[in-house]
Amino acid sequence: MVSIMDIFNPQVTKSAGTVTVTYCHGLYSGTCTYEETTLQGTTKKFKQRFFIMTHCDMDDVIEYLYKVGEINGPSDLQKIDHLIRDHSRTQVEGGVNPETSGQ
Protein backbone atom coordinates (compact mmCIF):
# COMPACT_ATOMS: atom_id res chain seq x y z
CA MET A 1 0.00 0.00 0.00
CA VAL A 2 1.36 3.42 -0.97
CA SER A 3 1.56 5.95 1.84
CA ILE A 4 2.02 9.73 1.75
CA MET A 5 5.23 9.00 3.68
CA ASP A 6 6.72 7.18 0.66
CA ILE A 7 7.36 10.50 -1.13
CA PHE A 8 10.09 11.11 1.46
CA ASN A 9 12.15 8.25 -0.02
CA PRO A 10 12.78 6.45 3.30
CA GLN A 11 16.24 4.93 3.74
CA VAL A 12 17.05 2.34 6.42
CA THR A 13 20.55 2.14 7.90
CA LYS A 14 21.82 -0.17 10.62
CA SER A 15 24.80 0.36 12.89
CA ALA A 16 25.70 -1.54 16.07
CA GLY A 17 22.18 -2.55 17.11
CA THR A 18 20.64 0.78 16.13
CA VAL A 19 18.38 1.11 13.10
CA THR A 20 17.65 4.56 11.66
CA VAL A 21 14.96 5.43 9.12
CA THR A 22 15.77 8.68 7.31
CA TYR A 23 13.09 10.57 5.38
CA CYS A 24 14.04 13.22 2.77
CA HIS A 25 11.94 15.19 0.29
CA GLY A 26 13.40 18.44 -0.98
CA LEU A 27 14.15 20.67 1.99
CA TYR A 28 12.11 18.48 4.35
CA SER A 29 13.74 15.67 6.32
CA GLY A 30 13.35 13.61 9.46
CA THR A 31 14.62 10.53 11.28
CA CYS A 32 13.27 7.77 13.48
CA THR A 33 15.77 5.70 15.47
CA TYR A 34 15.14 2.22 16.87
CA GLU A 35 17.21 -0.05 19.08
CA GLU A 36 17.21 -3.75 18.32
CA THR A 37 16.61 -5.98 21.34
CA THR A 38 16.51 -9.75 21.70
CA LEU A 39 14.87 -11.67 24.53
CA GLN A 40 15.14 -15.37 25.25
CA GLY A 41 12.56 -17.23 27.28
CA THR A 42 13.49 -19.04 30.47
CA THR A 43 11.38 -22.18 30.03
CA LYS A 44 11.24 -22.19 26.23
CA LYS A 45 14.57 -21.22 24.71
CA PHE A 46 13.07 -19.27 21.82
CA LYS A 47 14.68 -15.96 20.97
CA GLN A 48 12.43 -13.06 20.07
CA ARG A 49 13.78 -9.98 18.31
CA PHE A 50 12.00 -6.63 18.47
CA PHE A 51 12.66 -2.94 17.94
CA ILE A 52 12.07 -0.05 20.35
CA MET A 53 11.77 3.50 19.03
CA THR A 54 14.23 5.62 21.02
CA HIS A 55 14.23 8.88 19.06
CA CYS A 56 12.02 10.60 16.51
CA ASP A 57 12.76 13.97 14.89
CA MET A 58 10.08 14.51 12.27
CA ASP A 59 9.32 18.27 12.57
CA ASP A 60 10.03 18.98 8.89
CA VAL A 61 7.96 16.01 7.77
CA ILE A 62 5.00 17.14 9.89
CA GLU A 63 5.36 20.67 8.49
CA TYR A 64 5.26 19.31 4.93
CA LEU A 65 2.20 17.14 5.67
CA TYR A 66 0.47 20.23 7.08
CA LYS A 67 1.34 22.29 3.98
CA VAL A 68 -0.07 19.69 1.56
CA GLY A 69 -3.26 19.32 3.62
CA GLU A 70 -2.66 15.77 4.85
CA ILE A 71 -3.12 17.05 8.41
CA ASN A 72 -5.12 20.09 9.48
CA GLY A 73 -3.73 21.04 12.87
CA PRO A 74 -3.43 19.90 16.49
CA SER A 75 -6.62 17.84 16.24
CA ASP A 76 -4.77 15.46 13.88
CA LEU A 77 -1.91 14.81 16.32
CA GLN A 78 -2.94 11.21 16.98
CA LYS A 79 -3.37 10.56 13.24
CA ILE A 80 0.14 11.81 12.43
CA ASP A 81 1.61 9.95 15.43
CA HIS A 82 0.21 6.66 14.13
CA LEU A 83 1.22 7.44 10.56
CA ILE A 84 4.87 8.09 11.48
CA ARG A 85 5.18 5.20 13.93
CA ASP A 86 3.49 2.65 11.66
CA HIS A 87 5.37 3.69 8.53
CA SER A 88 8.81 3.81 10.18
CA ARG A 89 8.23 0.46 11.90
CA THR A 90 7.26 -1.09 8.57
CA GLN A 91 10.45 0.30 7.03
CA VAL A 92 12.55 -1.12 9.87
CA GLU A 93 10.94 -4.55 9.68
CA GLY A 94 11.36 -4.64 5.89
CA GLY A 95 14.88 -3.21 5.87
CA VAL A 96 16.59 -5.38 8.47
CA ASN A 97 17.67 -8.85 7.37
CA PRO A 98 17.40 -11.40 10.21
CA GLU A 99 20.46 -13.31 8.93
CA THR A 100 22.70 -10.24 9.27
CA SER A 101 21.13 -9.06 12.50
CA GLY A 102 23.48 -8.59 15.43
CA GLN A 103 26.59 -7.92 13.37
pLDDT tens-digit map of 42-67? 887 888 888 999 999 999 999 998 89
- Indicate whether 2 belongs to any domain: no
- Indicate whether 36 belongs to any domain: yes
- Indicate whether 1 belongs to any domain: no
Does pLDDT of 97 surpass 90?
Answer: no
Write b or e for each residue in 63-93: b if 16 or more Cβ atoms lie within 10 A of its Cβ, otherwise e: ebbeeeeebeeeeeeeebeebbeebbeebbe
Domain that holds residue 33: 8-95
pTM over 0.85: no
- Indicate whether 77 belongs to any domain: yes
